[in-house]
Chains A and B, each alone.
Chain A
């Protein structure tokens, strides 16, 4: 049983992006072999399949090619919930400024964004990533894995570049001066 074929089977059943490390653990083979097999598989799907192997949200996943979208959509009739302008605006602010507090989002947008943030959390595009060590310990928001998946991004580094806006903090991590507990050791 070749690594490539086993990998194809795992990719077929995987319903979320899977990393080479996860495949390696499941198959009991070194990661480099998985990476080689993924590359080979990607080429094969690209030339002779209605499916394609893409790198998304930090892992690999099979999906249909765009040219079959119409036929698949007619068949599956998916419920598409497009983001409204205000949600997209709020999401962009969070994506490029994360980790960010609600007050900072309000400040950038000039309007109350609490409803938009709640909506984005419900859609799992935004998640709480911590609390800022400032008075009131406001909640910090960042984008989620679902965000990367919904916009076909592999990581936050793949976001469209934005000149003039503060650099993106890659990863939903706390800033270096994150709060630390004053615990007696």
Chain B
């Protein structure tokens, strides 16, 4: 018996196969299913005026009655119908904001950097004028450890001195213990927050009992983080920096 080798058609990816030209004719729309899909997708038609249910029923009847339907095209058509049903379902959902003013359409924000053009020029002129001045150091100031937050009258050096005083009181750090659970800064912040008082207090008075150098560093880091988050305050006293709990906003 002679046989013919037929190369099977490779499956097409979903969406690349056009849906079958299934004609629709109803009061709100006349055209193919593909056209309906495009107009819905582009927001060019009000689906509330289109009887989507009967269209789906009609297509399913057509599909069932077709002896050998094209699976790819049928699948695409069903996908299109599912999309249209979903869009209509969204459209039928009750709107809670019907009494309020309609929301403005979301539009992609346009760049508005052009509004900065005058100051860009002004900044360039300021930089040029600054280039005419020469300071004690060869160029600009060097701030090795610039504070990430603004603390009135307290420099990074003042804070470093406070840490140094604490470190001077600490015992040497114990040797590391294998598999010791990692310490969390968040946990330490709870400890520090509980220890902070309303009145400004030196760091040495806040840390009581015996502690290691590692403890001292944890204390200091937690304090810095609390200052950054606005939950602790630092002021400069006569003998160095003082820490207190920030007033709640």
Contacts and interface: CB of A to CB of B under 8 A. Distances in A.
A134 interface: no
Q: Is the interface on chain A under 10, 10 to 19, 20 to 34, or 35 or more residues? A: 35 or more
A100 interface: no
Interface in B127-158: 127, 129-143, 146, 148-150, 153, 155
Given A109-B113, A160-B118, A185 B228 contact: no
B107 interface: no
Contact of B230 (A16, A54, A151, A174): A174
B115 to A, nearest CB: 6
Contact of B127 (A13, A79, A83): A83
Contacts of B64: none
A183 B149 contact: no
B249 interface: yes
Given A12-B136, A63-B135, A78-B139, 14 more contacts: A17-B141, A63-B136, A64-B133, A80-B131, A92-B119, A92-B123, A110-B111, A129-B149, A149-B130, A151-B127, A152-B129, A160-B118, A160-B126, A174-B230
Q: What are the 8 closest A-B residue pairs judged by CB atoms, nearest first? A: A110-B111, A160-B122, A69-B132, A66-B132, A16-B141, A15-B137, A152-B130, A63-B133
Interface of A: 12-17, 19, 21-22, 54, 57, 61-64, 66, 69, 72-73, 76, 78-80, 82-83, 85, 88-89, 91-93, 95-96, 107-111, 124, 127-130, 144-146, 149-153, 159-160, 162, 164-165, 171-174, 176, 178-181, 183-185
